[in-house]
Amino acid sequence: IRGIPLLVQLIFIYYAMGRFFKIQGMVAAVVALSICFGAYMGEIVRAGIQAIPKGQMEAAIALGLSRSQAFRYVILPQTVKVILPAIGNEFISMLKDSSLVSAIALSDILRKGREYISRTFLSLETMLVVALIYLIITLLLSRLVGILEERLHQNG
């Protein structure tokens, strides 16, 4: 899945699978984005769990915790600290890649900009506003992830 571009996945789900399962545009977009970014998120979580030293699990078991308790109370909290920056980056990337849904005729920020351009012929100004909107949302999300990271590091 990670080797197939998101645009190809969107088109396949909307046009090919849409014929068999009567998938609407918004559902196709959500499914494609979920499949594409779910694969990346799964890899991030896997790598985060593997980044925690095996001695942590062994120590938790030695203290009398079951494997599931050790995972829940020892490994998972440490994993969250490790993977938070990468997950934040993936959410920001997904936000920016969501502009590809305009390829299947869904209305997003980019599509609204194109529609405005077709009425006013102000392409440069409109695309600058669209880019500014994406930039502001991205900066806000980046700051939110930064605040979450700071809180996690302060609380140990």
- Could you tell me if residue 123 is inside a domain? yes
- Identify the pLDDT of residue 23: 85
Helices (H), the chain: 6-11, 18-21, 25-51, 54-62, 67-70, 76-97, 109-120, 123-154
The upper half-sphere exposure of residue 56, i.e. CA atoms within 13 Å in the direction of its Cβ, equals 16
> What's the whole-number mean pLDDT along residues 58-87?
95
- Identify the pLDDT of residue 156: 62
Copy the structure tokens of residue 17.
Answer: 């699978």
pLDDT tens digits for range 2-20: 899 999 999 999 999 888 8
Taking Cα atoms as reference points, which of 1, 39, 11, 4 lies closest to residue 106? 11
- Could you tell me if residue 1 is inside a domain? no
Copy the structure tokens of residue 127.
Answer: 């695309």
Euclidean distance between CA atoms 125 and 110, whole angstroms:
13
Domain count, the chain: 1
At 155, is the pLDDT very low, low, confident or very high (cuts 50, 70, 90)?
confident
Q: What is the CATH number of the domain that holds 134?
A: 1.10.3720.10
- Could you tell me if residue 98 is inside a domain? yes
Structural domain for 51, as ranges: 6-154
- Could you tell me if residue 103 is inside a domain? yes
- Could you tell me if residue 134 is inside a domain? yes
- Could you tell me if residue 147 is inside a domain? yes
At 80, is the pLDDT very low, low, confident or very high (cuts 50, 70, 90)?
very high
- Could you tell me if residue 124 is inside a domain? yes
As a whole number, the mean pLDDT across the chain is 92
pLDDT tens digits for range 91-143: 999 999 988 888 887 788 888 999 999 999 999 999 999 999 999 999 999 99
Q: Is residue 29 within 8 Å of 104, Cβ to Cβ? A: yes
- Could you tell me if residue 62 is inside a domain? yes
pTM strictly above 0.75:
yes
